[in-house]
Amino acid sequence: MKNFFPVLVCLFLAACQPQVKPAIDIGNVQRQIEREAELKKQVEWSFRGRIAVSDGQQAGTVKLRWQQRAEQFDIEISLPITNQKYRLRSIGNGVRLEGFGLVMLEGESAEAVLQQATGWRIPFHDMQLWLRGIRTDSATRIEFAPNGLPAQFRENGWLVDYRGWDSAVMPMPTKVFANTSDKGKNASVRLQIDAWEIP
């Protein structure tokens, strides 16, 4: 019992200490806000790269040529072994998936069409922002890398990691990994960007 009182005092003093919250890097946050504003002004952009998608049981990798103009997109998909080509593109208010010149699927959104075609849940709308290092919600907390660029953020149930950036005046991501887990099921999207083209 003689040691109980000093221990009790230490616990009481520790409980009374002010709780320190993780520091927010105001400078990096402000630069990110400005960066996102500039990127959203760029209505036309494109890139070449590869994307790997996994649902925890099945996985696949394809080559991409993505062209974006405002809300309209035109994505050429090439299978790595057979080199078969498919095309996912906007048509009016909908989306169409074509293969070998034939219409394969049509739907109201890219998410719906891709899920019908592959069985994979790909957050296409969010990915359009994530792949350029833009949050879908400006209130999302970001973890920054030592270079001041985003390293990670969590949005809509996904953890988005930035593992590479190019050396442009306005740096653009070259490696974007997104992962989620829902009811014990895991899914991941890994994007490797070989070259950006921004007018």
Domain-located, residue 8: no
Given a contact cutoff of 8 angstroms between Cβ atoms, the answer to whether 85 and 102 are in contact is no
Domain-located, residue 143: yes
Domain-located, residue 90: yes
pLDDT beneath 70: ranges in the chain: 1-24
CA dist 95 and 93 (Å) reads 7
Domain-located, residue 18: no
CATH number of the domain bearing residue 37: 2.50.20.10
pLDDT at 24: 62
pTM of the model: 0.82
CA dist 62 and 161 (Å) reads 20
Domain-located, residue 4: no
Given a contact cutoff of 8 angstroms between Cβ atoms, the answer to whether 77 and 86 are in contact is yes
Supply the mean pLDDT for the chain: 85
Q: For residue range 84-93, what is the model confidence (pLDDT) as tens digits?
A: 899 999 998 8
Domain-located, residue 14: no
Structural domain boundaries enclosing 169 = 23-197
pLDDT at 83: 79
Query: What's the total number of domains in the chain?
Result: 1
28 φ, ψ (degrees, to nearest 5): -65, -40
Quickly tell me which residue has 């950036």 as its tokens.
Answer: 165
Domain-located, residue 13: no
Q: DSSP code of 148?
A: S
Q: Which of 76, 111, 79, 78 is nearest to 95 (CA)?
A: 111
Domain-located, residue 119: yes
Q: For residue range 32-80, what is the model confidence (pLDDT) as tens digits?
A: 999 999 999 999 999 999 999 888 778 889 999 999 999 999 999 998 8
